[in-house]
């Protein structure tokens, strides 16, 4: 992921929240007691496909994307403990990654930074240069791969490998590219002591029409490196957990913004690591959705 934003201190958050465009949507009572909460070092929060537009009042498919992001942020802030990190897995912007899209997104995501470090990635509706310029004072820019920024961070029970699958803005497929695949191979080979979780915006897709054009190469890396236990992605706007024939868990995140198919959930995901697997929970914005708050336990392949 190209940009990692450090957690804000209480003072910095209160100062910035007073100036943030989202201040009216993310009211102070929503964050009561936030700074006194303990951190759960094994729990991570995932948002994906936020699709926030420059105009925070814009609706798409009958959904206000900024309102959805604000609702997810409020619920996360009300969680009993702060997560170890929050990841927003691509398609931050509405359609083509305009500078004003990122300005609005930045205002609405600001309160999340009071909770935990924030990792941001790119999807096919993002624009790399505009994204880079959106957080110039906060971003730790990790240029591990030229024009394909990828990074690794470690938690107590896993190593996280964060990929950049943006190829062309506003075109559906994605691509990692040979340089990033080589980087991933090296990084995986150097880190075999913990389970590995790989995160990217686009899914595996052997046709290359909707997901990754170089799916076969990534699939080979995921299956060959036995420490890889899960691949987490977005893009399809559909919450689903399946398992590859190799035993790698394939976790398709729900959209925080709008769904493609009526009846599917939107919201965010809580992921808590155990020593031998993970517990994962859908937090649907529709509390009456049949999959809301369902907890699934996934065991690691051996």
Percent of residues, the chain, with pLDDT higher than 70 = 88
Residue 274: predicted pLDDT: 98
Average pLDDT in the 43-57 region? Answer: 97
Average pLDDT in the 80-97 region? Answer: 96
Average pLDDT in the 148-161 region? Answer: 92
Residue 37: predicted pLDDT: 85
Residue 33: predicted pLDDT: 60
Task: Check residues 138 and 77 and name the one with the higher pLDDT.
Answer: 77
Confidence of residue 146 (pLDDT cuts 50, 70, 90): confident
Domains detected in the chain: 3-299 (3.60.21.10)
**For 9-29, how does the pLDDT look when each residue is reduced to its tens digit (9 = 90+)?**
667 766 666 655 444 444 444
Q: Is the pLDDT of residue 209 over 90?
A: no
Q: Is the pLDDT of residue 233 over 50?
A: yes
The answer to whether 69 and 77 have CB atoms below 8 angstroms apart is: no
Euclidean distance between CA atoms 279 and 281, whole angstroms: 7
Residue 20: predicted pLDDT: 54
Q: Is the pLDDT of residue 155 over 50?
A: yes
Q: What is the 3-state secondary structure (H, E, C) of the chain?
A: CCEEECCCCHHHHHHHHHHCCCCCCCCHHHHCCHHHCCEEEEEEEEECCCCECCCCCCEECCEEHHHHHHHHHHHHHCCCCEEEEEEECCCCECCCCCHHHHHHHHHHHHHHHHCCCEEECCCCCCCHHHHHHHCCCCCEECCCCCCCCCEEEEECCEEEEECCCCCCCCCCCECCCHHHHHHHHHHHHHCCCCCEEEECCCCCCCCCCCCECCHHHHHHHHHHCCCEEEEEECCCCCCEEEECCCCCEEEECCCCCCCCCCCCCCEEEEEEECCCEEEEEEEECCCCCCCCCCEEEEECCC
Residue 230: predicted pLDDT: 98
Confidence of residue 277 (pLDDT cuts 50, 70, 90): very high
Average pLDDT in the 264-270 region? Answer: 98
Residue 242: predicted pLDDT: 97
Find how far residue 72's CA is from the centre of its chain.
Answer: 13
Residue 153: predicted pLDDT: 94
Residue 36: predicted pLDDT: 74
Residues 6 or more apart whose Cβ sits within 8 Å of residue 92: 50, 51, 52, 101, 102, 105, 120, 122, 123, 126, 131
Residue 19: predicted pLDDT: 56
């Amino acid at each position: 992921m190209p940009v990692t934003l450090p957690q804000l201190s209480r003072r910095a958050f209160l100062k910035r929240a007073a100036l943030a465009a989202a201040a009216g949507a993310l009211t102070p009572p929503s964050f009561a007691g936030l700074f006194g909460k303990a951190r759960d070092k094994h729990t991570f929060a995932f948002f994906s496909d936020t699709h926030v537009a420059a105009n925070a009042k814009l609706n798409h498919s009958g959904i206000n994307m900024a309102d959805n992001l604000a609702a997810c942020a409020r619920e996360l802030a009300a969680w009993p403990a702060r997560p170890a990190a929050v990841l927003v897995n691509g398609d931050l912007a509405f359609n083509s990654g305009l500078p004003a899209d990122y300005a609005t997104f930045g205002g609405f995501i600001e309160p999340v930074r009071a909770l935990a470090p924030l990792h941001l990635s790119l999807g096919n509706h993002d624009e790399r240069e505009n994204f880079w310029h959106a957080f110039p004072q906060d971003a730790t820019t990790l240029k591990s791969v030229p024009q394909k920024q990828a990074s690794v961070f470690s938690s107590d029970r896993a190593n996280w490998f964060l990929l950049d699958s943006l190829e062309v803005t506003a075109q559906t497929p994605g691509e990692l590219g040979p340089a990033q695949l080589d980087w991933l191979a090296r990084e995986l080979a150097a880190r075999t002591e913990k389970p590995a979780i790989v995160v990217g915006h686009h899914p595996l897709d052997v046709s290359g029409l909707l997901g990754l054009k170089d799916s076969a190469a990534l699939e080979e890396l995921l299956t060959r490196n036995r420490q890889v236990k899960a691949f987490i992605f977005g893009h399809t706007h559909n919450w689903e957990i399946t398992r590859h024939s190799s035993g790698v868990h394939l976790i398709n995140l729900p959209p925080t913004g709008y769904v493609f198919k009526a009846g599917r959930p939107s919201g965010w995901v809580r992921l808590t690591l155990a020593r031998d697997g993970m517990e994962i929970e859908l937090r649907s914005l529709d509390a009456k959705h049949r999959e809301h708050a369902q907890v699934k336990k996934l065991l690691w392949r051996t």
